Amino acid sequence: MSEWLHSIPLYWAEVIGVLLFLAVIVFAWLMPREFVFGDALDQAGWRDLRIWATLICLIQIGLYLIFN
C-alpha cells in the first residue's frame, strides 16, 4: 500500500487539489437558490454567495496552477 502510494506522481496532488476546488464550485451551484439567499433583504446578483464561492475558488485554482 505504502509503496503504491509513493509511486503516485506528485502532479496528482495538484490535480486532486484543483478537483477539490472544482467540486466546491459544483457543490455551491447545487445549493437551492432560496437556501443561499436565505433571509437576504433582496435577491440582487451581488448577494448570490455562489458567485462569491466561484470567484474565490477560481483564484485558488490559479494559485495552485502557478505554484506547481
Partner 1 sequence: MHLGTAATVDVVIVIVYMLVILGIGTYFGKYVKTAKDFFLAGRMLPWWIIGFSIIGTNIGSYDYMGAAGNAYRVGITQANYEWIGAIPAMIISALIFIPFYWRAGVYTVPEFLGRRYNAAVRLIMALIWGVVLICFLGIFLYAAGLLLNSFLGWNVMWGIIIVAVIMGIYTVAGGLTAVVYTDLIQFCVMMIGSISIMVAGFIKVGGVSGLMAKLGEYNPQHLKLFLPLDNPDWPWLGMIFGLALVLSPAWWCCHQSIIQRTLGARSEWDAKAGMMLATFPKTLFAFFILLPGFFILLLSLPQGLANPDQALPEAIKALLPVGLTGLMFAAIIAAIQSTVDSTLNSLSTIWTRDIYQRFIVRKAADRHYLAFGRWLTVIFLVGGILFAPMTKMFPGIYLAMQYILSVFQGPTFAIMLLGILFRRVNQWGGLFGLVIGVLSAMIMLALDVGFLYTAWWSFVIAVVVNLLVSFLTKPDPIEKLTNLVYGLTARPMKGEANV
Q: Identify the DSSP state of 62.
A: H
In the range 9-48, which residues lie near partner 1 by CB under 8 A?
A: 10, 13-14, 16-17, 20-21, 24, 27-28, 31, 34-41, 47
**Chain-centre distance for alpha carbon 42:** 26
CA 60, 24, 2 angle in degrees (round to 5)? 80
Minimal distance in Å, beta carbon 45 to partner 1? 14
Cell of 55: 470567484
Minimal distance in Å, beta carbon 23 to partner 1? 8
**Chain-centre distance for alpha carbon 41:** 26
Judged by the rule CB under 8 A, the positions of this chain that interact with partner 1 are: 5-6, 8, 10, 13-14, 16-17, 20-21, 24, 27-28, 31, 34-41, 47, 49, 52-53, 56-57, 59-60, 63-64, 67-68
